[in-house]
Structure 1
C-alpha cells in the first residue's frame, strides 16, 4: 500500500516547523512519502484548516492537528501496512 503523509501549514508557523521535523524523521525511517501544502495557497484549505495548523493527513484523512505525536504517527503507518 502506498502511504503519503501530508503536512498542512503556512509560512512562519513555528509549530509547522516542529511538525515537519517529526514527519521528515518518521517518513525517512518508515520509507513513506510525504508532502507539504501551504494553506495560504488554497482558499478551501485556508477556510477549513487555519485554526488547526499544522494539520497532518495520512492518505488524505486527517490524523492530527497542532502537534504531531511521533509514536502515534508511527503506529498509524504500521496499522495501515498491516491491512
Structure 2
C-alpha cells in the first residue's frame, strides 16, 4: 500500500471539507461559522453547511448538539469550535 494511502497519512488541507450542521437563528452556529470561515479560508479547505430543519436524519442525530462540525464527514466538534483544534485537524499537525 502506498504510504499516502495509509490510515493517518496527512492530507492537504485544500483536499479537506469542513461541514457546519446548524439551523437558522442559532447564535452558536454563527460563532462556529466565523471560526470555520477563518481557518478554512486560510488553509483553502472547502466549507459546506447543512440545515437540520431541512433534513430529518440530521435533526434526529444532532438536534441537541448544534452547531456540529464535521471534517471529511467525521464529527469533529459541537457547541463551540476551537480555532486551533480545527486548524490541527485540517493540517494533520
The alignment's TM-score, normalised by the length of structure 1, stands at 0.93
Match of 1:65 among 78, 82, 86: 78
Which has the higher Rg, Structure 1 or Structure 2? 2
Q: Helix, strand or coil: the match of 1:27?
A: helix
Number of residue equivalences? 80
The CA RMSD measured in Å over matched residues stands at 0.9
- CA displacement 1:2-51 (0-9 Å, x = unmatched): 20000000001000000000000001100111010001101000000000
Alpha-carbon separation, structure 2, partners of 1:3 and 1:46? 24
Gaps of 5+ in 1: none
Mapping of residues 37-76 of structure 1, within 5 Å: 37-76=50-89
Gaps of 5+ in 2: 1-10
Runs of 4+ in 1 over 2 A off after TM superposition: none
Residue in structure 2 matched with residue 4 of structure 1 by the alignment: 17
The alignment's TM-score, normalised by the length of structure 2, stands at 0.83
Alpha-carbon separation, structure 1, partners of 2:76 and 2:41? 18
